[in-house]
Structure 1
Amino acid sequence: MNPGKIQFAESDGTYVLKLIGEVRLTLCSSLESFLQTMFEEPGFRSVIVDLSETETIDSTSLGLLAKLSILARKKINQRPVLISPLPDITRILMSMGFERIFIIVEDAGDQKSEYLEIECEDCNEESTHARVLDAHRVLMNLNEDNRRAFSDLVKQLERCRQPEVTT
């Protein structure tokens, strides 16, 4: 397995995010920071997510991608394109309801972009916890199957966030 990394390219307001290797929670802080910057760019017009080199992707990362799609819809009123040529990854996306929030394609043709790597940021336990909770709440709202799958986890994460009451 390849350790995960995220690369990006931009041309005329169109961003391509390439998620490579094992895409896990450890990359989410960096990705979320990048997305905030991307959406604030005055010339932002569209975003494409390329999963053609993604080997595995965890639910927190999927939740962050769902959030990306929701924000893109609000900002530019369009669904982002998600490139997913690998059947195992596509199956996960479909089971999460991503066909409703992304335009999923198997192949985007030859892309000869110069990619830059998004630097991995360290994050503390509290911000990681908040990010995991937020990502799973987003996934829960995509469909009823997700709600059932993640409701216990979300409840547990919410309980862990509340300060303990001492008597």
Structure 2
Amino acid sequence: MSTGHVEYASLNGTHFFKIIGEVRAQSCISLDKLLGKIEKQSTNIVSAVVDLTQTTFIDSTVLGILAKLGLKLKQMHNIQSVMLSTNPDITTLANSMGLGQVFAILTCSEETKVCTKALPDEDANQKSMLTTVLDAHKTLCKLNQSNHNIFEPLVKQLEKEKEQEKV
């Protein structure tokens, strides 16, 4: 179970996401929904900052959702998103998953101070959880061959489960 949460703030087109503590797939349904809303905005998107300065653990689903954010902003708005990190292990993990391709990853010496509000916890039903985890891992597979090799079996299994739900 996750012992962390995601906070968010937006000002004048800059979207700021703060990942605090141990954040796993169960905690990112609301983040995925928020990104969907931001994706639909055609204007007022200037930049995005993902703050990992207080992150102690982040799983592949959360990394996939963040990759989706970075990819969409790069493709749709030609925006280079920024990722902040103070933890060398988190920085290494983000880079190893290919997030350096879609984010400018900056190492900081101290935590940032931004007024953010916690995203509400969403009641994750099995269908929404499956969709979120599947989309996140498909995004990671797109970033590089190494991710594709690692996550392709999981993606295939999740796709099977999704097909079974339709029956």
TM norm structure 2 = 0.90
Work out the CA distance in 1 between the residues paired with 2:59 and 2:112. Answer: 26
Match of residue 154 from structure 2: 153
Q: Give the Cα separation in 2 of the matches to 1:60 and 1:149.
A: 13
Q: Hey, what's the Cα distance between the residues in 2 that align with 1:11 and 1:101?
A: 22
Aligned amino acid, residue 120 of structure 1? D
**Paired residue secondary structure (1:129):** helix
Q: Secondary structure at the match of 1:78?
A: coil
Equivalence map 1:45-60=2 (5 Å):
45-60=46-61
* 137-146 or 68-77: bigger deviation: 68-77
- Indicate if the aligned counterparts of 1:5 and 1:21 stay in contact, CA closer than 8 A: yes
Please name the residue that 1:9 is paired with: 9
Query: Where does the alignment leave 5 or more consecutive residues of structure 1 unmatched?
Result: none
Q: What's the counterpart of residue 28 of structure 2?
A: 28
Cα separation, partners in 2 of 1:39 and 1:99, compared to 1, 3 Å: same
Q: Is the 8 A contact 2:53 2:111 kept in 1?
A: no
Asked if the contact 1:83/1:108 (under 8 Å) is kept, the reply is no
Task: List per-residue Cα deviations over 1:122-164 (Å, max 9, x = no partner).
Answer: 1210111111111111101111111111111111111222238
Find the aligned partners of 1:160 and 1:9 in 2 and give their Cα distance.
Answer: 35
The answer to whether the Cα contact below 8 Å between 2:6 and 2:28 also exists between their aligned partners in 1 is no
Structure with the greater alpha carbon radius of gyration: 1
Q: Cα distance, 1:106 vs. partner?
A: 0.6
Q: What SS does the aligned partner of 1:33 have?
A: helix
CA contact (8 A) 2:86 2:111 kept: no
Q: Percent identity between the aligned chains?
A: 39
Are the counterparts in 2 of residues 46 and 76 from structure 1 also a CA contact under 8 Å?
no
Q: What is the Cα deviation at residue 18 of structure 1?
A: 0.4
Alignment of 1:66-145 (within 5 A): 66-107=67-108, 111-145=112-146
Q: Is the 8 A contact 1:5 1:20 kept in 2?
A: yes
Gaps of 5+ in 2: none
Give the CA deviation at 1:36: 2.4
Q: TM-score, length-normalised on structure 1? A: 0.90
Would you tell me which structure has more strand in proportion to its own residues? 2
User: Structure 2 vs 1, CA of residues 43 and 129 (structure 1 numbering), >3 Å: closer, same or farther?
Assistant: same
Aligned pair in 2 of structure 1 residues 138, 83: CA closer, same or farther (>3 Å)? same
